[in-house]
Amino acid sequence: MSLPPSVMLTLACTPDPDDAFRYCALETGRLSLPAGWSLTFEHRHISDLNESCRTTRHDVCAISSVFYPYIDQRYVILGSGASVGRGYGPVLACRAGEDLDDLTGRRVAVPGASTTGAFLLHYFHPGCTLVPTAFDTVADAILSGVVDAGVLIHEELLNHGEHSLHKLGCLGARWTAHTGLPLPVGLVVAKRSLGFRVICVIENLLHDSMAWALAHRDEAMAFASRFGRGPTSRVREDFVRKFANTDTLLMPPDVRLSLGTLYAKAFARGLIPQLPVLDVVDPDGARAVAA
């Protein structure tokens, strides 16, 4: 089956160094597209990206893993591009000097109600009140007393100590202790309407872009640093190493198992509408489908 002669694609991701690192080769032209193809990048906060998929606004989009059941009929998961926490992930924090043993009845800021961090909070602390908050203002909301605690994601989960915050725990570590599995924080999905052949090309492009970044780490990290919000380059580099690595290059079996576990537990708690079909497209057209 031949490729369409002209394809105009949009790829939406977060304005964060891990996404910038993995897509450096594509954004800077180090990696060539098929003749007649174009790729436009759009950068938005993860909660906005999730919601954009309800109307299939973007051809390729980064989403929170727990959001996939809401869009599984319109999007397929790509095997390359996932963000994975192996014993780490969203951090639960409160003001320094406080130590909240029980969050029941407490107001807790979450970086969007549809995010994986919000799911973990709801799963492990069902008695608290979730307060959707822009991820980059969660620390301020905690410090100002608008909320009692908050879930930190992106670089904020590493630099919380510089905001006079007290770490109550790591929700990613708790997930791993609870399940024995890594935490699939985020996924990259592609519109099913693009057709399987085009989706395969996109998957291979994302895989090759990540492979290029791993092989040219200094150049890719220099590009990624333009998107950093952390106070030091160490924070950015640590963040990239945690969330843009070989798990991102190609989702391994234990992460796929954890995805199914996440959806089963979320569905059992009534936190997602249905169990999605895990339809994953891998490089070179390989495809795995599991309930």
Q: Return per-residue pLDDT of the chain as tens, 291 residues.
A: 577 778 999 999 999 899 999 999 999 999 999 999 999 999 999 999 999 999 999 999 999 999 999 999 999 999 999 999 999 999 999 998 887 878 999 999 999 999 999 999 999 999 999 999 988 889 999 999 999 999 998 766 555 455 679 899 999 999 999 999 999 999 999 999 999 999 999 999 999 999 999 999 999 999 998 876 555 555 578 889 999 999 999 999 999 999 999 999 999 999 999 999 889 999 977 655 543
Distances in Å between the alpha carbon of 226 and those of 13, 209, 235, 237? Answer: 15, 18, 13, 12
Q: Please enumerate, as own/partner, the contacts of 251-256 that have beta carbons within 8 Å and a separation of 24 or more.
A: 251/79, 251/80, 251/82, 251/84, 251/184, 251/280, 254/181, 254/182, 255/82, 255/84, 255/181, 255/182, 255/184, 256/280, 256/288, 256/290
At 84 the pLDDT is 98
Q: CB burial class (10 A; 0-12, 13-18, 19+) of residue 38?
A: exposed
Which single residue is written with the structure tokens 């990540």? 210
The partner residues of 64 in beta bridges, in order of sequence, read 186
Q: CA geometry: angle at 48 spanning 153 and 249, to 5°?
A: 60
What amino acid occupies position 226? Answer: R
> Is residue 287 classed exposed, middle or buried when 0-12, 13-18 and 19+ CB atoms within 10 A define those classes?
middle
The backbone torsions φ and ψ at residue 277, rounded to the nearest 5 degrees and listed phi first, read -80, 125
Q: How far apart are CA 147 and CA 167, in angstroms?
A: 15
Q: What is the pLDDT of residue 231?
A: 52
Query: CA–CA separation, 245 vs 227, rounded Å?
Result: 18
Terminal Cα-to-Cα distance of the chain (whole angstroms): 28
Q: Which two tokens stand for residue 206?
A: 């994302």
Task: Identify whether the C-beta of residue 267 lies closer than 8 Å to the C-beta of residue 64.
Answer: no
In this prediction, residue 239 carries a pLDDT of 87
Report the pLDDT value the prediction gives residue 81, as an integer from 0 to 100.
97
What is the pTM for the complete model shown? 0.92
pLDDT at 143: 93
- Between CA 167 and CA 156 the distance in angstroms is 12
d(Cα 16, Cα 77) in Å, to the nearest integer?
21
> What's residue 8's pLDDT?
95
pLDDT value of position 291: 38
The predicted pLDDT at position 77 comes to: 98
Domains defined along the chain, listed by start: 7-85+182-290 (3.40.190.10), 91-179 (3.40.190.10)
